[in-house]
Structure 1
Amino acid sequence: MDELHPVAYSSGRRWLARLAFLAAVAAVVLVLAVAGVRASVVLLLVAAGGTVAMLAGVWWFLSHRGLVRWLAAVVVVAVPITVGVLYARASLIWVVVVFVLLWLLMVGAGRAALAGVNKPREYPTPAPRRAFLIMNPRSGGGKVERFGLVAKAHSLGAEVLVISGPTDVAEVARHAVRNGADLLGVAGGDGTQALVAGVAADAGLPFLVISAGTRNHFALDLGLDRDDPSTCLDALTDGVEVHVDLGRIAGRTFVNNASFGAYAAIVQRPEYRDAKAGTTLELLPDLLIGHQGPRLRVQAGDTALDGPQAVLVSNNPYGTTDDVAGMGRRFRMDGGVLGLLAVHVRGAADAAALMFGGRPGTLTRRISTEVVIDADAPDLPVGIDGEAVVLPTPVHCTVVPAALRVRVPRHRPGVPSPPPELDWTRLRRLAFATGRPPQASAALADA
């Protein structure tokens, strides 16, 4: 007899599973009852055709310049308006709205019923006595000054160096270690975080992440508060350690990812820092269909790829349920593996397929302990945590498990569990299980 997957289920989870089934049935019944079978088919065809046309417009907008780009922009805007007018003439807009709401309810309730727990192991450690922090006042639009980070750090007994110009932060960190620092920390962007994290890992010291950068991907995946970076400093007096992996590439450390191909070429441009969107739009046509730049070859375990336009190697894989690019966030950083994401787009059809998870040969995801990137050129542009560098080929990326001791506040937002896939078999067993629910066990075994 099949048993329910070992999920920590209670009567609340059981009712969430039932709610998911109820919402799914209600959505189908609504469309069939109000629109009828024939109208429902037409409704779906119109929606599908509009989606394809809009995605094609997006592809042409990204892969062309000038008049073609702006005509594509008109298509992207006009298609949903046209579909909406057709629905309105058929008096079906309210049906679509209610259907979408029911579908969202189904997905939300189903995932909540199956959700697991994702909490890294914490290690209690004594508070540092000689913490050394590097702060970049320009990061995040001036968050260091806006949140009073220097004053708070001083009040908690930390030594602070505020960067005032071009600075070799790795050498500054090494000097601090030689002078007796027992913790290193950074308030700045992910690129600066990576450089100092490498020094901390080599010295065996704990590392403090202060979310004062613009995007703070590393802080996000550590479960830190990105809205108020001053709360990260609470770790100096009331903190615990978590041990995370580090990526290595050509003797450098990366905490997030190393990018090759299209994205790496974009971040190489001097104007990228001040005009990210404009620079990206200007270069994308040549990178996507102009075949500019070296031709990439990728080897990850038994997987060999030839000619992808963009490659991302990450310190632990990005989740696959947040967004189609797989770059939303990492739900754990202690898996001891690299994540590989490679994109090979040949036209509008491939671009449209990416919106639905890609088709064979378009989007490749793998995990490996080593990824080698080669090219038909002696040097290759690489973006390491958003910093532009040029490295000799082939480029070897590896992972060092549990290399970095990160000191984090005991009380922090945390990292949520990855949204589980909707497994209808498990949902059915949970929804229609009889008898008294067992005691809450651990979380999903495969979360």
Structure 2
Amino acid sequence: MDRPSGGPENRPTGTVSGSRATGARGTAAQRWSARLAFVAVIAAVVVLLLFAGLKSVTLVAFGAGGLVVCAACVWWGLTRRGLGRVLAFAAAVIAPVAVLVLYALVGLLWVVIVTVALWAVAVSAGGAALGVDIQPARTPEFRIATPRRPFLIMNPRSGGGKVGRFGLAAKAEALGAEVLLLDPAHPQDVVPLARRAVDEGADLLGVAGGDGTQALVAGVAAEHGMPYMVISAGTRNHFALDLGLDRDDPSTCLDALSDGIELRVDLGFIGDRPFVNNASFGAYAAVVQSPAYRNDKVHTTLQLLPDLLTHQSGPRLTVRATDVAIEGPQAVLVSNNPYRMGDQAGMGRRERLDSGVLGVLGVKVDNAAQAAGLLRGQHAGGLTALTAHELVVDADEPEIPVGVDGEALILPTPVHCRIEPGALRVRVPRHRPGVPRTKRPVNWRRLVKLAAGGSHSPDDTPPTA
């Protein structure tokens, strides 16, 4: 694959996106936000102790116990059928309600509400104080020549008909692109279509469709070292989200044809098949293989999960990456660059698409106690998160179900996954919304330093894998 040469059309634009370069701007505001965070924490403790006294310990214990019981009951509900499932799910609802009723009976519900609200203020203010860490660094941008013969594949059914609703084909043709509209009644393999376009002189490939189709055509573009363009006409558009594209109006992605820049991003491979987002193994992959899943997702999932989660059916997986092994996980997610961990708002997003490593997330829960332990988040014992350049997923069966960018596949074991750093040249509009901000977990030690008047550097916290 060709690398940017540094010439007038292939050099960094100087707009390495991200706010890590903001340095100490807004230091005074950050210090006051840090102080507000600690005032809120102190206020929360004072309210709890002043109005609840020794009962505060009991309040906290009952609250934590309610969450633990709820999580355990959800596990029981997912691993049982019939009356046992109904009772378990009912208990999962009753447990937190019972805690709130207890708080109300002892006249301390308002204390709990105020305390929780103050903690929320503390976390929000703490995040604002460390705000320069919120915006992730983005991939360097390169100037490249305008394509002369772009070739775009469009799926009219994708995203509920976005291609037609936004007039994407006509707009692309007006910008000089050749457009191939797929026929929903006659499914076609997009890989030979893309390769034929390259043989006929196309100098850019692009797709308006789902992430599964995006990945296949992206693989052809990477194979030939040519630019690739994403048009966010799919249903979820996770790849477009992490590229900073506009998912609400896919027609804006066409601006890349006339006023575009290039990003060099990584491409994941499962065997020889490329993926732009992730490959999933285990329970979810097995569920989506069921013929009944498309017509009745909820019922099919609840019907299959008990046996899958308790290893009564489905393959028993083993994941090996470098010197780490995960034995018997119920679910494994391998992603093209790691997903955010540590805050719910950032889940499902990737800070970088050019880190050069796969993200690996394995979940192994064998009982209700371990299910409750998942409340600890990324520190849970049943949760394994790591990064790797390559890994192997093996099983006690010759073939296993795999979900690759939303496509349900059956692959022979062992399954090899790897990442090709910088393999994909993605052409995007020069002006685009950008990657959504996601907050890092509040670092209270750094907040103490900041509140006391110390300096704050956005680079002293490593990214979380």
Aligned residue runs from structure 1 range 153-164, under 5 A: 153-164=172-183
- 1:19 is matched with 36
What is the one-letter code of the residue matched to 1:40?
S
Secondary structure class of the residue paired with 1:400: strand
- 2:163 is matched with 144
Q: 2:284 aligns with which of 241, 245, 263?
A: 263
Q: 1:205 aligns with which of 218, 222, 226?
A: 226
The offset of 1:159, in angstroms, is: 1.8
Secondary structure class of the residue paired with 1:391: strand
Q: 2:338 aligns with which of 317, 334, 340?
A: 317
Secondary structure class of the residue paired with 2:385: strand
- 2:319 is matched with 298
The offset of 1:417, in angstroms, is: 5.1
- Structure 2: give runs of 5+ residues left out of the alignment: 1-21
- Rounded to whole Å, the distance in 1 between the matches of 2:421 and 2:220 is 16
Q: 2:89 aligns with which of 34, 58, 73?
A: 73
Are 2:45 and 1:28 aligned?
Answer: yes
- 1:50 is matched with 66
Q: 2:343, 2:440 within 8 Å by CA — same for their partners in 1?
A: no
- Rounded to whole Å, the distance in 1 between the matches of 2:109 and 2:380 is 35
Q: 2:373, 2:381 within 8 Å by CA — same for their partners in 1?
A: no
Cα separation, partners in 2 of 1:444 and 1:382, compared to 1, 3 Å: same
- Rounded to whole Å, the distance in 2 between the matches of 1:336 and 1:280 is 34
Are 2:141 and 1:122 aligned?
Answer: yes
- 2:447 is matched with 427
Q: 2:246, 2:253 within 8 Å by CA — same for their partners in 1?
A: yes
CA RMSD of aligned residues (A): 2.2
The offset of 1:443, in angstroms, is: 4.9
Q: 2:410 aligns with which of 370, 385, 390?
A: 390
Q: 2:292, 2:300 within 8 Å by CA — same for their partners in 1?
A: yes
Identity among equivalent positions (%) equals 61
- Rounded to whole Å, the distance in 1 between the matches of 2:116 and 2:246 is 32
Runs of 4+ in 1 over 3 A off after TM superposition: 6-9, 273-278, 358-361, 441-445
Q: 1:188, 1:210 within 8 Å by CA — same for their partners in 2?
A: yes
Secondary structure class of the residue paired with 2:264: strand
- Rounded to whole Å, the distance in 2 between the matches of 1:148 and 1:209 is 16
- Structure 1: give runs of 5+ residues left out of the alignment: 1-5
- 2:392 is matched with 372
Q: Which moved more, 1:309-318 or 1:59-68?
A: 59-68
- 1:62 is matched with 78
The offset of 1:7, in angstroms, is: 5.8
Q: Which moved more, 1:20-29 or 1:140-149?
A: 140-149
- Rounded to whole Å, the distance in 2 between the matches of 1:66 and 1:176 is 55
What is the one-letter code of the residue matched to 1:158?
A
What is the one-letter code of the residue matched to 1:47?
G
Q: Which moved more, 1:401-410 or 1:81-90?
A: 81-90
Q: 1:114, 1:444 within 8 Å by CA — same for their partners in 2?
A: no
- Rounded to whole Å, the distance in 1 between the matches of 2:290 and 2:448 is 53
- 1:110 is matched with 126
TM-score (norm. length: structure 1): 0.92
- Rounded to whole Å, the distance in 2 between the matches of 1:25 and 1:361 is 31
- Rounded to whole Å, the distance in 1 between the matches of 2:58 and 2:80 is 33
Q: 1:17, 1:109 within 8 Å by CA — same for their partners in 2?
A: yes
Secondary structure class of the residue paired with 1:357: helix
Secondary structure class of the residue paired with 1:351: helix
- Rounded to whole Å, the distance in 1 between the matches of 2:458 and 2:367 is 46
- Rounded to whole Å, the distance in 2 between the matches of 1:278 and 1:134 is 35
Are 2:59 and 1:39 aligned?
Answer: no
Q: 1:190, 1:218 within 8 Å by CA — same for their partners in 2?
A: yes
Secondary structure class of the residue paired with 1:272: coil
Are 2:270 and 1:254 aligned?
Answer: no
- Rounded to whole Å, the distance in 2 between the matches of 1:139 and 1:57 is 38
- Rounded to whole Å, the distance in 1 between the matches of 2:227 and 2:356 is 19
What is the one-letter code of the residue matched to 1:371?
L
Q: 1:7, 1:444 within 8 Å by CA — same for their partners in 2?
A: no
Q: Which moved more, 1:315-324 or 1:304-313?
A: 315-324
- 1:3 is matched with none
| Count of paired positions | 436
Secondary structure class of the residue paired with 1:181: coil
The offset of 1:90, in angstroms, is: 2.4
- 1:287 is matched with 308
- 2:6 is matched with none
